[in-house]
C-alpha cells in the first residue's frame, strides 16, 4: 500500500467538547459534515413532501385539493429552492465534501475550522428564513428563478419574496465561505507527496465546484440585491416603467444558474468516479482526461447561460452561438461517461449497493444528458419551452443524477462515517425500488412535455390523464422507497455490523480507508506520506 498509516496519527479520546457544545460550537470537519447531512435529510423530507403534494394534485385532471392557486405556485417554488440549496448542495458539498476532503488529502482538518462552523449555521439560518417566507404573507409564488416582473412588489406584495431573497443571500454567503475554505485546504494542506495530479477525483471535483461557487454566487448576490432594492427602495433595475429591463435579471440569474447545475453535479461525478474505481478493482481509466473534462465543463459552463433564454427574443446569431457552445459541453461529459465504462471494462466488478447506485447514476445521467442536447437546439427549446419536457430533463440530471450520487456516496461511506455497515439486502432493495420509482415518475413526463403540457399549472386537459397517472404512481413508489431509505439509516445506526477500516478491499485505495471506522475525532495528526502511485 502506498500510504503508511502511523498509529499515533488518529485520536478519538479526550480533548474534544461533548454534549451540545460539540455540535453548536463545532469546528471539526467530520461533525460539521454530519450536521450538513442531517440538515439535507430534513430538507429532503420537506422538499420531497412538497413534490408529492404536487404529484397528488396532478394525479387526475381537474382540481383535487388545491383551491388557492398561489399556494400551488408557492409549493412549486419552495420545492425547487429547497432541493437546490438545502438538499443537494448541503449533502454533496457540505456533507461529503467536509467529511472526506480532509481525509482524502491527508490533512487533520479544514484550513479555517471556525469559518466552517459559520458556513453551516448560516445555512440553517437561511433554511429558517425560507420556511418563514412560506408562512408570512402570500408566500413566494415566483418559481425558483424569481423572475421579475412577477417578483416585483406590485405582484408579490408583502414580505415573502424579501424573506426568500435574504434566505438566498445567507445560503450564498454560506457557500462562498465554504468554497474559500475548500480551495485553501486543497491548495495548501495536502499531505507531502500528494501533487495536484495525484489527488483523488472527488477532491478535484470539489476544487472545481468551489471555484464555480466563488464565481457564480456573487453574481446571484448582486442580482438579488438589485431585486431587493427594486422592491423596497424605489430603484428600477428591472422595472421597464423607469428604464430598467427584466431581461437583465434573466442574464444575471442564469449566469449564476447555469454554473449552479454543474455545482450540483460535479461532486456527484467525483463520488461516482471513486465508487466505479473501487468496485471494479481498477484505477480510474484516463485520470487526467477525467480531471480536465471536469475543468472544461466548469469553464464552458460559464459561457452558455442564455440557452435558458431562447424564447426572450435573442437574435438568430446569438442563439446560434449559445446552441453550439451548449452542445460543446456534451464532449467533456462524454469523455467522463466513456472513461467510467472503460474503467468497468475488464474489471473485477462487485455489484454492491454503492456500485448499483453509481451505475444507475451513469445510466440516468446519460438519459438526462441526451434530452439536454435536444433542448440545446433553440428551435426545439422554443417549442417545448416551459413544458414537462424541460421538467423531465432537469429531473433526470438532478433528481435522478445528483440524488443517485448522494445515495451512492451514502452507501459507500456510511461505514466510515458511522462505524457500522448498512444492511446489504435492504440497500439493494432501496436501489431497485428507487430506480423503478423515479423512472416511472419522470420518463412519462417527456411524452407529456412533447404533447404540450405546461409546467407550474395545477390542472391539465383530459388528454394528459394517462401518463400523469403513471407519473403519480411512480411518485408513490419513490415515496415508499424513501421511507425504506430512512429504515435503512435506522437499521444501520442501531444494528449495523461493525465496519472494518477498509470494507471494500484493494479497490479502495484512497486515504480515508487507512483510518479506522468510524473515523476518529482527530485524524491524520501526522500527515501520511504519499508514494509514487497516482491516487485514484
Partner 1 sequence: MSDDGTQGLRRRNRGVATMLGGLVVGMVGLAFASVPLYRLFCDVTGFGGTPRVGLAGSSSGISDREIEVRFDSNVAAGLPWVFEAELRSVRVRLGEEVEAHYRVRNLSKTKTIGTSTFNVSPNSAGPHFVKVQCFCFTEQTLQPGEEAILPVRFYVEPEIGSDRDARDITAVTLSYTFFPAKTGAAAPAASAVAALGAK
Which set of grid coordinates corresponds to residue 117?
462552523
Using the contact rule CB under 8 A, the part of the chain among 5-13, 95-103, 247-255, 418-426 near partner 1 is 247-255
Q: Of 29, 30, 55, 307, which is the active-site residue?
A: 307
With CB under 8 A as the contact rule, the residue among 150, 248, 450, 501 that binds partner 1 is 248
What letter would DSSP give residue 2?
A: -
Active-site residue, 281 included = no
Question: CA gyration radius for the chain?
Answer: 23
Active-site entry in 133, 175, 280, 481: 175
Tell me if residue 260 is catalytic: yes
Could you confirm whether 6 is annotated as catalytic?
no
Binding mask 166-195 for partner 1 (x = CB under 8 A): ----------x--xx--xx--xxx------
- Which residues touch 398 (CB under 8 Å, ≥6 apart)? 83, 84, 88, 261, 264, 265, 368
111 binds partner 1 (CB under 8 A): yes
CA–CA distance, 87 with 91 (Å, rounded to integer): 6
Residue 273 is among the residues annotated as catalytic for this protein: yes
- Identified binder of partner 1 from the candidate list 251, 385, 455, 491, rule CB under 8 A: 251
Taking the C-alpha atoms of residue 24 and residue 119, their distance in angstroms, rounded to an integer, is 12
**N- to C-terminal Cα separation, the chain:** 13
Interface with partner 1, residue 157, by CB under 8 A: no
d(CA 267, CA 204): 9
Cα–Cα distance measured from residue 299 to residue 216, given in angstroms and rounded to the nearest whole number: 12
Secondary structure of the chain: what % helix, strand, coil (to 5)?
70, 0, 30
Counting Cα atoms < 13 Å in the Cβ hemisphere of 469 gives 9
- Rounded-to-integer distance, Cα 20 and Cα 481, Å: 33
Q: Is residue 262 flagged as an active site residue?
A: yes
Catalytic residue, from 258, 420, 430, 446: name it: 258
Give the angle 481-85-207 at the CA atoms, nearest 5°. Answer: 105
For residues 473, 474, 475, 478, the Cα torsion angle rounded to the nearest 10 degrees is: 130
175: annotated active-site residue: yes
Q: Are 302 and 258 in contact (CB under 8 A)?
A: yes
Binding of residue 240 to partner 1 (CB under 8 A): yes
Task: Using DSSP bridges, classify how beta strands 497-498 and 420-421 pair: parallel, antiparallel or unpaired.
Answer: antiparallel
Size of the site for partner 1 (CB under 8 A): 38
112 binds partner 1 (CB under 8 A): yes
Q: How far is the CB of 339 from partner 1 (least distance, A)?
A: 30
Q: Is 109 a catalytic residue?
A: yes
CB distance 286 to 304 below 8 Å: no
The residue range among 17-25, 58-66, 208-216, 368-376 that interacts with partner 1, by the rule CB under 8 A, is: 208-216
Given the residues 34, 273, 371, 434, the one annotated as active site: 273
Residue 241 sits in the site that holds partner 1 (CB under 8 A): yes
What residues numbered 252-311 form the site for partner 1, per CB under 8 A? 252
Cα 70 to Cα 67: distance, rounded to the nearest angstrom: 9
Among 65, 192, 243, 495, the residue binding partner 1 under the rule CB under 8 A is 243
**Minimum CB distance to partner 1, residue 243 (Å):** 3
Instruction: Give, as ranges, the residues between 312 and 341 that touch partner 1 (CB under 8 A).
Output: 313, 315-317
Site for partner 1 in 211-230 (CB under 8 A): 214-219, 221-223, 226
CB 14 within 8 A of CB 522: no
Catalytic one of 262, 412, 504, 513: 262
- As annotated, the active-site residues are 79, 109, 144, 174-175, 258, 260, 262, 273, 307-308, 333, 336, 455
Interface contacts to partner 1, rule CB under 8 A: 111-112, 176, 179-180, 183-184, 187-189, 214-219, 221-223, 226, 234, 236-237, 240-245, 247-248, 251-252, 313, 315-317, 527
Amino acid at each position: 500500500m502506498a500510504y503508511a498509516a502511523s498509529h499515533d496519527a488518529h485520536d478519538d479520546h479526550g480533548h474534544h467538547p461533548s454534549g451540545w457544545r460539540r455540535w453548536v460550537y463545532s469546528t471539526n470537519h467530520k461533525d460539521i459534515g454530519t450536521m450538513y447531512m442531517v440538515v439535507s435529510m430534513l430538507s429532503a423530507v420537506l422538499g420531497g413532501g412538497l413534490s408529492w403534494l404536487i404529484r397528488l394534485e396532478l394525479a387526475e385532471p381537474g382540481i383535487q385539493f388545491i383551491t388557492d392557486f398561489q399556494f400551488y405556485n408557492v409549493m412549486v417554488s419552495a420545492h425547487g429552492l429547497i432541493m437546490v440549496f438545502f438538499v443537494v448542495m448541503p449533502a454533496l458539498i457540505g456533507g461529503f465534501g467536509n467529511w472526506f476532503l480532509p481525509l482524502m488529502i491527508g490533512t487533520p482538518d479544514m484550513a479555517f475550522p471556525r469559518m466552517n462552523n459559520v458556513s453551516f449555521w448560516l445555512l440553517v439560518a437561511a433554511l429558517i428564513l425560507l420556511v418563514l417566507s412560506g408562512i408570512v404573507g402570500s408566500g413566494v409564488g415566483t418559481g425558483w428563478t424569481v423572475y421579475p416582473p412577477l417578483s416585483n412588489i406590485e405582484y408579490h406584495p408583502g414580505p415573502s419574496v424579501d424573506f426568500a431573497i435574504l434566505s438566498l443571500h445567507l445560503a450564498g454567503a454560506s457557500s462562498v465561505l465554504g468554497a474559500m475554505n475548500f480551495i485553501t485546504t486543497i491548495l495548501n494542506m495536502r499531505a507531502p507527496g500528494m501533487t495536484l495530479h495525484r489527488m483523488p477525483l472527488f477532491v478535484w471535483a470539489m476544487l472545481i465546484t468551489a471555484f464555480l461557487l466563488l464565481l457564480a454566487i456573487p453574481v446571484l448576490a448582486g442580482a438579488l440585491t438589485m431585486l431587493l432594492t427594486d422592491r423596497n427602495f424605489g430603484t428600477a433595475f428591472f422595472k421597464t416603467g423607469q428604464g430598467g429591463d427584466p431581461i437583465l435579471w434573466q442574464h444575471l440569474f442564469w449566469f449564476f444558474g447555469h454554473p449552479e447545475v454543474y455545482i450540483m453535479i460535479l461532486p456527484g461525478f467525483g463520488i461516482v468516479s471513486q465508487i466505479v474505481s473501487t468496485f471494479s478493482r481498477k484505477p480510474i481509466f484516463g485520470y487526467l482526461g477525467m480531471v480536465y473534462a471536469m475543468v472544461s465543463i466548469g469553464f464552458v459552463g460559464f459561457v452558455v447561460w442564455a440557452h435558458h433564454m431562447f424564447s426572450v427574443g435573442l437574435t438568430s446569431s446569438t442563439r446560434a452561438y449559445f446552441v453550439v457552445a451548449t452542445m460543446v459541453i456534451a464532449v467533456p461529459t462524454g469523455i467522463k461517461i466513456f472513461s467510467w465504462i472503460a474503467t468497468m471494462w475488464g474489471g473485477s466488478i462487485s455489484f454492491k449497493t454503492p456500485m448499483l447506485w453509481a451505475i444507475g447514476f451513469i445510466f440516468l445521467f446519460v438519459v438526462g444528458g441526451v434530452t439536454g442536447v435536444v433542448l440545446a437546439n433553440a428551435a426545439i427549446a422554443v417549442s417545448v419551452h416551459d413544458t414537462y419536457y424541460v421538467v423531465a430533463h432537469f429531473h433526470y440530471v438532478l433528481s435522478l443524477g445528483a440524488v443517485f450520487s448522494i445515495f451512492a456516496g451514502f452507501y459507500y461511506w456510511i461505514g466510515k462515517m458511522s462505524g457500522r455497515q448498512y444492511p446489504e439486502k435492504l440497500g439493494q432493495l432501496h436501489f431497485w425500488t428507487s430506480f423503478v420509482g423515479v423512472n416511472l415518475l419522470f420518463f412519462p413526463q417527456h411524452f407529456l412535455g412533447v404533447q404540450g403540457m405546461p409546467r407550474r399549472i395545477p390542472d391539465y386537459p383530459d388528454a394528459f390523464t394517462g401518463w400523469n397517472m403513471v407519473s403519480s404512481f411512480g411518485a408513490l413508489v419513490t415515496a415508499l422507497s424513501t421511507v425504506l431509505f430512512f429504515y435503512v439509516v435506522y437499521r444501520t445506526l442501531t444494528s449495523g455490523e461493525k465496519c472494518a477500516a477498509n470494507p471494500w478491499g484493494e479497490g479502495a485505495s484512497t486515504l480515508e480507508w487507512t483510518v479506522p471506522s468510524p473515523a476518529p475525532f482527530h485524524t491524520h495528526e501526522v500527515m501520511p506520506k504519499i508514494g509514487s502511485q497516482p491516487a485514484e
